[in-house]
Structure 1
Amino acid sequence: MNKIFKPSLIAMAVSSVAFTAFPTIAEETDAKYDVYGIIAVQAHYRDYENSPSLTGFQTNNESRIGFRGSKQFQNLGPKFIWQIEGGYVDPSYSDHTSNGGFGERDTFVGFEDFESFGQVRIGRVLTPLYEVVDWPGANPGLGDVWDWGGLIGGAKFQDRSSNTVRWDSPEWGGMTFDVAYGRTKAAATGSDEGWWQGAAAHYKVGPFQFDAAYEVNRNTAESFQDGTLDTSAHDPSTKQTFNRVWDNNTYLVGVQGWFENGISFFAQYRIQDAEVTEGIDSGREEKQNAMTSGLMYNTGDWQFKVGYTKNFELEVNGEKVEDSSDDVISAQAMYFVDPSAVLYVRARDVTMGGNTVDSGNTGMTYDRWKSDSFNEVSIGVEYYF
Structure 2
Amino acid sequence: MSLFKKSLVAVALSSLTLSGTALAAGIQGENAAEKFLTKSDFSYEVYGIIALQAAYRDYDSGNSATDDDLSGMQLNNESRIGFRGKKQFKNFGPTFLWQIEGGYVDPSFGGSGAGLGERDTFVGFESEGMGQVRLGRVLTPIYELIDWPASNPGLGDVYDWGGSIGGAKYQDRQSNTIRWDTPKYFDALSFDLAMGAGDEAALGAGDDYWFGGAAHYNVGPFQFDLAYERNDNFESEGTTWTNDTYLAGIQAWFENGISFFAQYKHMEASTTSGIDETQGAMSTGLIYTTGDWQYKLAYAMNFELERDGQTIDNTDDNVISGQVLYFVDPSAVLYARARTLDFGDKVQVTDSTDLRWKSEDFVEVSVGVEYYF
Q: Which TM-score applies when normalising by structure 1?
A: 0.87
Counterpart AA for 1:310? M
Does the 8 A contact of 1:264 with 1:295 survive in 2? Answer: yes
Q: Does the alignment pair 1:338 with 2:329?
A: yes
Q: Could you tell me whether the CA contact under 8 Å between 1:334 and 1:344 is conserved in 2?
A: yes
SS across alignment from 1:144: helix
**Counterpart for residue 181 of structure 2:** 168
Match of 1:319 among 310, 314, 324: 310
What is the aligned partner in structure 1 of residue 168 from structure 2? 155
Is the contact between residue 269 and residue 290 of structure 1 (CA under 8 Å) also seen in structure 2? yes
Deviations 1:144-193 (A, max 9, x none): 00000001000000000000000000010210100001111122123431
Partners of 2:86 and 2:262 lie apart in 1 by: 35
Alignment deviations for residues 86-126 of structure 1 (CA, whole Å, 9 cap, x no partner): 00000011332xx110000000000000x211000000000
Q: How far did residue 365 of structure 1 move? A: 2.7
1:268 corresponds to: 263
Query: Which one of 85, 88, 93 corresponds to residue 109 of structure 2?
Result: 93
Match of 1:297 among 274, 282, 288: 288
- String of CA shifts for 1:170-225, please: whole Å, max 9, x gaps: 010210100001111122123431100010000000000000000000000014xx
- In the alignment, the residues of structure 2 paired with residue 79 and residue 28 of structure 1 have an alpha-carbon distance, to the nearest angstrom, of 17
In 1, the alpha carbon distance for the partners of 2:29 and 2:209 equals 39
- More displaced stretch, 16-25 vs 76-85: 16-25
| Secondary structure at 1:179 match in 2 | strand
The amino acid that maps onto 2:252 is: G
How far apart are 1:31 and its partner, in Å? 6.7
Cα distance, 1:372 vs structure 2: 1.2
The equivalent of 2:4 in structure 1 is: none
The amino acid across from 1:206 in the alignment is: G
When structure 1 is superposed on structure 2, of 350-359 and 312-321 the one drifting more is 350-359
TM-fit CA distance, 1:32: 4.4
Could you list the runs of 4 or more consecutive aligned residues of structure 1 that deviate by over 6 angstroms after TM superposition? 15-18
What letter matches 1:263 in structure 2?
A: I
Conserved? CA contact 2:314–2:345, under 8 Å: yes
For 2:212 and 2:114, locate their aligned partners in 1 and report how far apart those are by CA, in whole Å. 27
Are 2:303 and 1:309 aligned?
no
Q: State the match for 1:40 in structure 2.
A: 51
C-alpha distance in structure 2 between counterparts of 1:316 and 1:308, whole Å: 25
Does the alignment pair 1:185 with 2:176? no
CA distance change for structure 1 residues 67 and 16 in 2, over 3 Å: closer, same or farther?
Answer: closer
Distance 2:41 2:350 in 1: 59
Q: Is the 8 A contact 1:33 1:68 kept in 2?
A: yes
Uncovered stretches (5+) of structure 1, i.e. residues with no partner: 6-14, 224-242
Q: Which runs of 5+ in 2 are unaligned?
A: 1-11, 20-25
Report if aligned partners of 2:159, 2:302 keep a CA contact under 8 Å in 1: yes
How far is the alpha carbon of 1:19 from its aligned partner? 3.9
CA distance in 2: counterparts of 1:31 and 1:259, whole angstroms = 42
Q: Is 2:92 the partner of 1:76?
A: yes
Structure 2 CA distance for partners of 1:216 and 1:18, relative to 1, 3 Å = farther
Q: Hey, what does 1:11 align to over in structure 2?
A: none
Deviation at 1:370, TM superposition (A): 1.3
Q: 2:143 is aligned with what amino acid?
A: Y
Matched, 1:56 2:66: no
CA RMSD for the aligned pairs?
A: 1.9
Q: Which residue of 2 aligns with 1:24?
A: 35
Give the conservation status (yes or no) of the 8 Å contact 1:286–1:315: yes
Aligned to 1:366: 354
One-letter identity of the residue aligned with 1:301: D
Query: 1:254–1:269: 8 Å Cα contact kept in structure 2?
Result: yes
Alpha-carbon contact 1:31-1:69 (below 8 Å) kept = no
Q: Is the 8 A contact 1:142 1:309 kept in 2?
A: yes
For residue 146 of structure 2, give the secondary structure of its aligned residue in structure 1: helix
- 1:226 is matched with which residue? none
Contact 2:27 / 2:33 at 8 angstroms: preserved in 1? no
Q: What pairs with 1:105-120 in structure 2 (closer than 5 Å)?
A: 105-113=119-127, 115-120=128-133
Quick check: 1:352 aligned with 2:332? no
What does residue 215 of structure 1 align with?
229
Equivalent residue for 1:231? none
Distance 1:368 1:300, change over 3 A: same
Partners of 2:182 and 2:99 in 1: how far apart?
A: 19
| Deviation (angstroms), 1:33 | 1.9
CA distance in 2 between counterparts of 1:16 and 1:200 reads 44
Q: Equivalents in 2 of 1:372, 1:252: separation in Å? A: 27
Amino acid in the other structure paired with 1:212 = L
- Work out whether residues 159 and 282 of structure 2, in 8 Å CA contact, stay in contact via their aligned partners in 1: yes
- Count how many residue pairs are aligned between Structure 1 and Structure 2: 348
Give secondary structure in 1 for the equivalent of 2:185.
coil
Matching of residue 286 in structure 1 with residue 271 in structure 2: no
2:23 corresponding residue in structure 1: none
Q: Give the Cα–Cα distance (whole angstroms) in 2 for the partners of residues 337 and 17 of structure 1.
A: 47
| 8 Å CA contact 1:321, 1:357 repeated in 2 | no
C-alpha separation between the residues in 2 aligned to 1:21 and 1:32?
21
How far is the alpha carbon of 1:17 from its aligned partner?
12
Query: What amino acid sits opposite 2:126 in the alignment?
Result: E
* Higher share of residues assigned helix: 2
The answer for the alignment partner of 1:197 in structure 2 is 211
Aligned: 1:121 with 2:157: no
The residue that corresponds to 1:146 in the other structure is 159
